Amino acid sequence: MSIRGRIAIIGAAETTELGRIPHLSAIGLHADAARNAIADAGIAKSDIDGIACAGQSPVAVAQYLGITPSYVDGTSVGGCSFMLHVRHAAAAIDAGMCEMVLVTHGESGKSRVGMAGFGGGGDGSLQGQFEVPYGPTGPPTMFPIGVLRYMKELGLTHEQLASVAVVQREWAAQNPRAMMRDLVTVDDVLSSRMVAYPMHLLECCLVTDGGGAVIVTSAERARAMDLPNPPVYLMGTGESSETPMVSQMEDFTTSKAFRVAGAKAFAEAGISHADVDHLMIYDAFAHLPIYGLEDLGFVGRGEAGAFIAEGNTKPGGSLPLNTNGGGLSYTHTGMYGMFAIQESVRQVRGTAAAQVPNVKISIAHGVGGMFAASGTLVLTNQEL
Amino acid sequence: MDLTAPSERDEGAEVTTTPSKAVPRPTPETQPFWDGCAAGELRLQRCSSCDAHYFPPRPFCPTCLSDQVTWETASGRGTLHTYVINHRAAPGFEAPYAIAVVQLDEGPRMMSNIVGIENTPENLELDMALEVTFEPRGDMMLPVFQPASTGGGQ
């Protein structure tokens, strides 16, 4: 039993604005994105009977939108939560638990309007006892902690790491909604301010306000509807988790959660890597596309740095990657996974700002926390 | 999980309290570890059936779920597995400083700081030999690491 081809995303939209949105609270961003997605799908709010979100409580978002759900998913495992929401919604819809699920995201990451307090569990949590006392100041000082190990074991150079940011800026330059659009060189990246050696400022994601939402229903129902936009079918899905403490990763050169989620998604989709036309890998930091390319099996171990530096993922390359500009150049609210899904949907619809020709299959791969969790979606415009 | 404190995202936010380094708060499961630190010992749990050490503390083996586990005093020796050098100081810290992962000789890895040596990329070579030492933190003692005295460091 599989949801392959049986589920469709029929609506997808981001918040009207991105970047700095001080006039909207976090829950207001959820709602703005939700209203845009409902309009994008051409449905009535009353068609929605399921709600899923992270950051805010799904209870709060449902009430704010005036939705009485019969399916509620508050899975909150960080920035890939939305991949998991889509996956769980697919299972619930296929099991007849509900018919149409609204997945929302909104964060006032920059302006901090109406944001809940930060997690981590306090000073009595395991992170509080065994990581926080050593002086981390946010994800830039924790998430890349394995990069030097990766460099030593697999030969990645500082220049190759910097090239991730350079290539993604090439994509962002084609995207009017991207926050950073001026082209940069490897030297620009390496001469930008050091945030946490070996990571420079331009190898770290943006901090922005914004949101997005998708609407998920059965492929059967999607076919029966008069949709303004073609449905995007779910081909395969995967999810996993590894550790809430980055210091306890099994291997600092590879993500177990990436490998498990990716393999599940490929197996369910029944595709090979050569079938993938377009790829999104959540890039909170420049090393993530490198880990993602290898852990999803697109290249061999230790090959991803050269693969990117040689131009394979840039505009016109063989494997277009992070074509909205990514978290490094497009937008990053804190939990970026929703934006990876949005760009995958646009690419298979053929409506992206930097559209790749003839995209039939796109993968949106997300990370949660700092290699804590992972979710993978394989999307297609083909009926299966 | 987003660990960024609001103050870090608002450049120029005022600090109104005297900054001090974060102090760990033990739980019943971790108390023996911190008691060890107070006694100047790095203590790890070992599973009797797996014959393997593990970390962080919990009252059962994360591999086989057995509760036949014992506390043992570790050698305190290890190697520098990986690190970043943080340029945005946490409260009480003076940047730049390394946030490191130490590979303990017994097998587990733990996050720590490196003391007794200027924290530069040149000084901090991966796999260099380290040994534990303890630094006061509030009314606790926190395990940190320094270049091993027998490892040809200094």
Give me the domains of chain A, ranges plus CATH numbers.
Answer: 7-114+206-380 (3.40.47.10)
Which pLDDT value is given to residue A3? 93
In a domain, B96, yes or no: yes
Closest-CA distance, B55 to chain A, in angstroms, reads: 8
Q: How far is CA A218 from the centre of its chain?
A: 22
| B43 strand-pairing partners | B73
pLDDT, one tens digit per residue, over A342-375 is: 999 999 999 999 999 999 999 999 999 999 999 9
Angle between helices A58-65 and A26-41 (to 10 degrees): 60
B90: nearest CB among A78, A137, A145: A137
Mean per-residue pLDDT over chain A, rounded = 95
Which pLDDT value is given to residue B3? 44
Residues of A in contact with B107 (CB under 8 A): none
In a domain, B132, yes or no: yes
Which pLDDT value is given to residue A117? 52
| A11 strand-pairing partners | A215
Measured between alpha carbons, how far is A101 from A221 in angstroms, rounded to an integer? 13
Place of tokens 């003839």: A358
How far, CA to CA in Å, does A188 sit from each of A147, A163, A345, B91? 20, 10, 32, 30
> A interface mutation test: which of B23, B53, B101 has the most A CBs within 10 A?
B101
Q: Is B11 on the interface with A (CB under 8 A)?
A: no
Q: Are A312 and A279 spatial neighbours (Cβ–Cβ below 8 Å)?
A: no
Is the Cβ pair B82, A199 closer than 8 Å?
Answer: no
In a domain, B2, yes or no: no
Q: Are A175 and A339 spatial neighbours (Cβ–Cβ below 8 Å)?
A: no
B88: nearest CB among A132, A141, A244: A141
Q: Can you give the residue range of the structural domain that contains B51?
A: 26-147
Mean pLDDT of B111-125: 98
Which pLDDT value is given to residue A194? 98
| A9 strand-pairing partners | A216, A232
Measured between alpha carbons, how far is A331 from A18 in angstroms, rounded to an integer? 7
Mean per-residue pLDDT over chain B, rounded = 88
pLDDT, one tens digit per residue, over A96-114 is: 999 999 999 999 999 988 8
Mean pLDDT of A375-381: 98
Q: Is B101 on the interface with A (CB under 8 A)?
A: yes
Is the Cβ pair A247, B110 closer than 8 Å?
Answer: yes
**What is the b/e burial string over A148-171, where b = at least 16 CB atoms within 10 angstroms of the residue's CB?**
bbbbbbbebebebbbbbbbbbbbb
| CATH number of domain containing B135 | 2.40.50.840
Residue B135 is inside which H or E element, if any? strand B129-137
pLDDT, one tens digit per residue, over B2-52 is: 444 433 434 444 445 567 999 999 988 999 999 999 999 999 999 999 999
Mean pLDDT of A293-297: 98
In a domain, B21, yes or no: no
Residues of A in contact with B83 (CB under 8 A): 145, 148
Is the Cβ pair A149, B137 closer than 8 Å?
Answer: no
How far, CA to CA in Å, does A6 sit from each of A90, A215, A332? 8, 14, 31
Nearest to A98 by CA among A116, A72, A71, A125: A71
Token pair recorded at residue B100 = 């490191």
Measured between alpha carbons, how far is A205 from A156 in angstroms, rounded to an integer? 20
Chain A residue whose CA is closest to B101: A247
Residues of A in contact with B22 (CB under 8 A): 123, 128, 132-133, 135
Which pLDDT value is given to residue A145? 98
Q: Is B50 on the interface with A (CB under 8 A)?
A: no
pLDDT, one tens digit per residue, over B48-106 is: 999 999 999 998 898 888 999 999 999 999 999 999 999 999 999 999 999 999 999 99
Residue A291 is inside which H or E element, if any? helix A287-295
pLDDT, one tens digit per residue, over A58-99 is: 988 998 898 989 899 999 999 999 999 999 999 999 999 999
Measured between alpha carbons, how far is A12 from A88 in angstroms, rounded to an integer? 17
Measured between alpha carbons, how far is B4 from A370 in angstroms, rounded to an integer? 12
> B interface mutation test: which of A111, A130, A252 has the most B CBs within 10 A?
A130
ipTM of the complex: 0.88
Three-state DSSP state, B70: strand
Residues of B in contact with A118 (CB under 8 A): 2-6
pLDDT higher than threshold 90 for residue B128: yes
In a domain, B122, yes or no: yes
Residues of A in contact with B141 (CB under 8 A): none
In a domain, B138, yes or no: yes
Helices and strands (H, E) in chain B, number of each type: 2, 8
Q: Is B96 on the interface with A (CB under 8 A)?
A: yes
In a domain, B114, yes or no: yes
In a domain, B109, yes or no: yes
Which pLDDT value is given to residue A112? 86
In chain A, where do the E strands start and end?
Answer: 7-14, 50-53, 71-73, 100-108, 194-197, 199-200, 209-218, 232-241, 278-281, 361-368, 373-380
**pLDDT more than 90, % of chain B:** 77
Is the Cβ pair A126, B25 closer than 8 Å?
Answer: no
Q: Is B25 on the interface with A (CB under 8 A)?
A: yes
pLDDT higher than threshold 50 for residue A31: yes
Is the Cβ pair A134, B112 closer than 8 Å?
Answer: yes
Instruction: Give the DSSP letter of residue A200.
Output: E
Total domains present in chain B = 1
pLDDT higher than threshold 60 for residue A157: yes
Q: Is A371 left (phi over 0), alpha (psi -120 to 50) or beta?
A: left
* Pairing of β A50-53 and β A71-73: parallel
Token pair recorded at residue A254 = 């590879």
**pLDDT more than 70, % of chain B:** 85
pLDDT higher than threshold 50 for residue B151: no
Which pLDDT value is given to residue A331? 98
Nearest to A322 by CA among A358, A360, A357, A293: A293
Is the Cβ pair A118, B3 closer than 8 Å?
Answer: yes
Q: How far is CA A47 from the centre of its chain?
A: 26
Measured between alpha carbons, how far is A330 from A284 in angstroms, rounded to an integer? 11
Sign of CA dihedral A205, A211, A216, A222: negative
Token pair recorded at residue B110 = 């733990």
Judged by average pLDDT, the poorest of A379-383, B27-31, B108-112, B125-129 is: B27-31
How far, CA to CA in Å, does B134 sit from each of A126, B34, B37, B43, B140? 19, 11, 7, 13, 10
Which pLDDT value is given to residue A265? 97
pLDDT, one tens digit per residue, over A242-253 is: 998 999 999 999
Residue A306 is inside which H or E element, if any? helix A304-309
Instruction: Give the DSSP letter of residue B20.
Output: -
Residues of B in contact with A131 (CB under 8 A): 111
Three-state DSSP state, A240: strand
Residue B142 is inside which H or E element, if any? strand B140-147
Which pLDDT value is given to residue A1? 74
Closest-CA distance, A272 to chain B, in angstroms, reads: 32
Q: Is B9 on the interface with A (CB under 8 A)?
A: yes
Q: Are A268 and A334 spatial neighbours (Cβ–Cβ below 8 Å)?
A: no
Measured between alpha carbons, how far is A224 from A235 in angstroms, rounded to an integer? 19
Measured between alpha carbons, how far is A148 from A23 in angstroms, rounded to an integer? 41
Is the Cβ pair A119, B1 closer than 8 Å?
Answer: yes
Which pLDDT value is given to residue A121? 56
Q: Is B68 on the interface with A (CB under 8 A)?
A: no
- Given pLDDT bands bounded at 50, 70 and 90, which one contains residue A299? very high
